[in-house]
Chain A
Amino acid sequence: MKEKDFNTNYVPTWCPGCGNFGIFIALKNALSELGLKPENVLLVAGIGCSGNGVNFLKAYGWHSLHGRAIPTAIGAKLANKDLTVIVMAGDGDSYGEGMAHFIHGVRGNANITYITHDNQLYALTTGQSSPTTDTGTKTKSTPDGLIETRANPMSLALSAGGGFVSRGFSGNAEHLKNLIKKAIGHKGFSLVDVFQPCVTFNKVNTFKYFFDRLYNLDEKEDYNNTDITMAYKEALTWGDKIPYGIFYQNERLSYGDHLEQLKGQALAKRPIKVRNIDQLTREFA
Chain B
Amino acid sequence: MQNKNNLTWKIAGEAGFGIKSAGMMFGKIFMRAGYEIFDFTEYPSIIRGGHNTYQLVVDTKPVNSVYKYVDVLVALNQNTIKYNLVDISKGGVLIYDSDKVKVSAANLKNNSVEGIGIPLTSLAKEAGSELMRNVVALGATMCLVDQQLAIANKVVRENFSKKGKIVVDNNIKALKLGYDFVKNNAKYEFKCQLPTLKPKDNILITANEALALGAVAGGLGFYAAYPMTPSSSILHYLAKIASKTGIVVKHAEDEISVANMALGASHVGARAMLATSGGGFALMTETLGLVGLTETPLVMVNVQRGGPATGLPTWTEQADLQFMLHAAQGDFPRIVMAPGDASEAYDMGWQALNWADMYQVPVIILSDKLIGEGNTTVPKFSTKNVKINRGKILTQTQLAKLKDYRRYKVTQDGISPRTLPGMKEGLFIANSDEHDSYGFSNEDSQNRIDQVDKRYRKLDEFSKVMPKPLVYGNPKAKKTVVFWGSNKGVILDAYVSLPEKIKTKIKIMQYQYLWPFATEFTNNILKSSKDILLIENNPNSQLGNLIAQETGIMIKNKLLKYDGRPFFREEIISALKKF
Contact of A71 with B241 in the complex, beta carbons under 8 Å: no
Q: Chain A: residues with CB nearer than 8 A to chain B?
A: 8, 10, 37-40, 42, 44, 47, 52, 54-55, 58-65, 67-68, 70-80, 82-83, 100-101, 104, 259-262, 267-270, 272-277, 280-281, 284-285
B203 proximal to A (CB < 8 A): yes
B217 proximal to A (CB < 8 A): yes
B contacts with A: majority SS: mixed
Given the known A-B contacts A272-B221, A272-B390, are A261 and B243 also in contact in the complex, defined by CB atoms under 8 Å? yes
**Bound state CA distance, A66 and B95, in angstroms?**
59
Nearest A-chain residue to B286, judged by Cβ: A65
Nearest CB on B from A95, distance (A):
15
Nearest CB on B from A3, distance (A):
17
Chain B residues with CB under 8 A of A73: 264
**Bound state CA distance, A254 and B286, in angstroms?**
29
Which of A40, A54, A262 neighbours the largest number of chain B CB atoms within 10 Å of its CB?
A: A54
Of B250, B390, B423, B430, the residue contacting A62 (CB under 8 A) is B430
Contact of B260 with A68 in the complex, beta carbons under 8 Å: yes
Contact of A273 with B424 in the complex, beta carbons under 8 Å: no
Contact of B383 with A63 in the complex, beta carbons under 8 Å: no
Of B127-135, B433-441, B478-486, the one touching chain A: B433-441
Contact of B262 with A75 in the complex, beta carbons under 8 Å: yes
B529 proximal to A (CB < 8 A): no
Which of B269, B422, B426 neighbours the largest number of chain A CB atoms within 10 Å of its CB?
A: B422
B265 proximal to A (CB < 8 A): yes
Contact of A72 with B213 in the complex, beta carbons under 8 Å: no
Chain B 239-282 interface residues, beta-carbon cutoff 8 Å to A: 241-243, 245-248, 250, 252-254, 256-272
A55-B441, A76-B268, A80-B421 given; 9 more Cβ-contact pairs under 8 Å:
A8-B440, A39-B426, A39-B427, A68-B287, A74-B264, A75-B262, A77-B264, A104-B257, A275-B218
B491 proximal to A (CB < 8 A): no
**Bound state CA distance, A241 and B424, in angstroms?**
46
Of B290, B423, B424, B427, the residue contacting A59 (CB under 8 A) is B427
Nearest CB on A from B374, distance (A):
14
Nearest CB on A from B54, distance (A):
17
Of B218, B253, B380, B381, the residue contacting A100 (CB under 8 A) is B253
A-B contact count (CB 8 A): 200
15 A-B contacts (beta carbon < 8 Å):
A37-B424, A39-B424, A62-B294, A74-B264, A76-B268, A77-B264, A104-B253, A261-B242, A268-B265, A272-B221, A273-B388, A277-B381, A284-B204, A285-B202, A285-B203
Given the known A-B contacts A44-B264, A64-B260, A259-B248, are A274 and B386 also in contact in the complex, defined by CB atoms under 8 Å? yes
**Bound state CA distance, A238 and B98, in angstroms?**
72
B493 proximal to A (CB < 8 A): no
Nearest A-chain residue to B353, judged by Cβ: A272
Contact of B222 with A75 in the complex, beta carbons under 8 Å: yes
Nearest CB on A from B29, distance (A):
13
Nearest A-chain residue to B270, judged by Cβ: A79
Nearest B-chain residue to A37, judged by Cβ: B424
Chain A residues with CB under 8 A of B421: 39-40, 42, 60, 76, 80, 83
Chain B residues with CB under 8 A of A261: 242-243, 245-248
**Bound state CA distance, A39 and B204, in angstroms?**
47
Contact of A274 with B422 in the complex, beta carbons under 8 Å: no
**Bound state CA distance, A273 and B267, in angstroms?**
19
Of B209, B219, B242, B390, the residue contacting A284 (CB under 8 A) is B209
**Bound state CA distance, A285 and B386, in angstroms?**
21
Given the known A-B contacts A71-B252, A285-B203, are A272 and B388 also in contact in the complex, defined by CB atoms under 8 Å? yes
B105 proximal to A (CB < 8 A): no
Contact of A281 with B213 in the complex, beta carbons under 8 Å: yes
**Bound state CA distance, A67 and B256, in angstroms?**
10
B182 proximal to A (CB < 8 A): no
Given the known A-B contacts A101-B253, A275-B216, A280-B241, are A78 and B433 also in contact in the complex, defined by CB atoms under 8 Å? no
B319 proximal to A (CB < 8 A): no
Q: Which 5 A-B pairs have the closest CB atoms?
A: A75-B264, A268-B269, A61-B429, A75-B261, A79-B265
B420 proximal to A (CB < 8 A): yes
Contact of A79 with B432 in the complex, beta carbons under 8 Å: no
B123 proximal to A (CB < 8 A): no
Contact of B222 with A60 in the complex, beta carbons under 8 Å: no
Contact of B380 with A281 in the complex, beta carbons under 8 Å: yes
Nearest CB on A from B375, distance (A):
9
Which of B217, B247, B263, B272 neighbours the largest number of chain A CB atoms within 10 Å of its CB?
A: B263
Chain B residues with CB under 8 A of A268: 221, 265, 268-270, 420, 422
Which of A42, A71, A82 neighbours the largest number of chain B CB atoms within 10 Å of its CB?
A: A71
Contact of A267 with B257 in the complex, beta carbons under 8 Å: no
Nearest CB on A from B151, distance (A):
12
Chain A residues with CB under 8 A of B218: 274-275
Contact of B264 with A62 in the complex, beta carbons under 8 Å: yes
Nearest CB on A from B283, distance (A):
11
Of B222, B246, B260, B269, the residue contacting A72 (CB under 8 A) is B260
Chain A residues with CB under 8 A of B562: none
Given the known A-B contacts A65-B287, A80-B421, A104-B253, are A269 and B269 also in contact in the complex, defined by CB atoms under 8 Å? yes
**Bound state CA distance, A60 and B269, in angstroms?**
13
Nearest CB on A from B496, distance (A):
25
Nearest B-chain residue to A68, judged by Cβ: B260
Nearest CB on A from B402, distance (A):
14
**Bound state CA distance, A280 and B217, in angstroms?**
10
B112 proximal to A (CB < 8 A): no
Chain A residues with CB under 8 A of B433: 63
**Bound state CA distance, A92 and B470, in angstroms?**
50
Nearest CB on B from A257, distance (A):
13
